[in-house]
Amino acid sequence: MTDDWQSERAEPLAVGPPRRRMTRRERAREERYRRRRKTGLVVALAMLVVVVIGAVFLGSKMWHSLFGGASDDFAGEGVNDVVIQVHDGDSTTAIGQTLHDNNVVANVKTFVDAADGNSAISAIQPGFYKVRTEIPAANAVERLADPASRVGKLVIPEGRQLDDVRDVKTNVVTEGILTLISNASCVNLDGDRRCVPADELKNIAGAAKPSDLAVPEWATDAVNRMGSDHRRLEGLIAPGTWNIDPSAEPQAILSTLISSSAAQYEQSGLLTTATALNMSPYEILTVASLVQRESTPENFSKVARVIYNRLAERRTLEFDSTVNYALDRIEIATTDGDRAQTTPWNTYVRPGLPATPICSPGAPALLAAEEPEPGDWLYFVTIDMQGTTLFTREYEQHLANIEVARRNGVLDSAR
């Protein structure tokens, strides 16, 4: 029988080798390690807090800008005038974002809600619009829908040249492309009217490098040959409706118009046609400008054929329009003195085509230059005020046609 004191005795514990006591240096190292871990943990937590707060702030700001409620709106008549751009294909939301980015509206959703059901907004055209900063969304909708808010709209009619021209008979001045650009650049911001002067555009046209003006490769040599004459850019700005940024520099305005025009010309098949006709694209453009100035649309393709026939037979073109071009005037008949002047454009004394186009031809004139009507004509003359034009290959018949034009009061002297 086991004694009671033995049954209650504690079992001995298993122990390992005796633990070595840490030195003072080791204890200090351990303490530094613990402090570093604690500091690192605090820094990591602080950075996490900053990131979370930043994400919440930015997310809140974005949410407010995109989805703020109807109460999140500006009030009043605004602070400053500002010009914003509506791009081709912009949705109402995209327009709202542009307005918000320029501090026009408080948030995008409020603008979208205000524009909902407004057909004028859904049909808004690409371009530049003057609005006010910090205005109610409904006010922004009204301003964008108002045609008077659009700025920078440039309309270039077919057949315009860079410079203004004067009609000899009526003394009426037709504004040239440079003047039209200047007028389109005008904008009134907070009572301060700003325009790009036509003279400044003219200086840039003559002084800037062709590459800086986005002159297409197929026109660069011809432009360089004209030196610093601003008319070296004639014909390179196509007719049509364009949007120009009123705040842009003159060179930027010209380069944008020239690059866009080159793309438009090339899309019409200019490069392919030039190859087929064994001419340069620039020469085709020049022919189109002569067609534009010398005839009316119903005769464009015949006049183009006359030009090509005369060039093929190495005859001078003898077009009065090329005489008038250098004189910045409009006149049906020219004098012997006018026709004797030596200029880079006068086709009475200059063989072949003029040095540059003499205007900006429209699409119909360009098409006629690309696809002239078959025929052997060498001469043409308009014989009445209704625009009837007679074509012939025989010079004697041409002289007879000129007499008819004289009797009808169309011409005072022979071509």
For the segment 367-395, the average pLDDT, to the nearest whole number, is 95
Residues in Cβ contact with 411 at an 8 Å cutoff, skipping those fewer than 6 apart: 332, 333, 381, 402, 405
In the predicted structure, residue 118 carries a pLDDT above the cut 70: yes
CB neighbours of residue 303 within 10 Å:
26
Round the CA-based radius of gyration of the chain to a whole number and report it. 38
Task: Label residue 35 by pLDDT band (50, 70, 90).
Answer: low
Q: How does DSSP classify residue 157?
A: -
- Tokens at residue 224, please? 């360089």
Q: Assess contact for 307 and 290: CB atoms under 8 A.
A: yes
| Length of the chain as a residue count | 415
Average pLDDT, the chain: 88
* Mean pLDDT calculated for residue range 184-209: 97
SS3 content of the chain, % helix, strand, coil (to 5): 50, 10, 40
What is the rounded average pLDDT of the residues 169-196?
95
Q: How many helices (H) and strands (E) does the chain have?
A: 17, 12
At 169 the pLDDT is 84
Output the pTM of the full model. 0.80
pLDDT of residue 63: 45
Question: 81 exposed, middle or buried (CB, 10 Å; 0-12, 13-18, 19+)?
Answer: middle
pLDDT tier, 7 (very low <50, low <70, confident <90, very high otherwise): very low
* Cβ pair 223, 232 in contact under 8 A: yes
Residue type, 192: D
What confidence tier does 38 reach under pLDDT thresholds 50, 70, 90? Answer: low
> At residue 415, does pLDDT exceed 50?
no
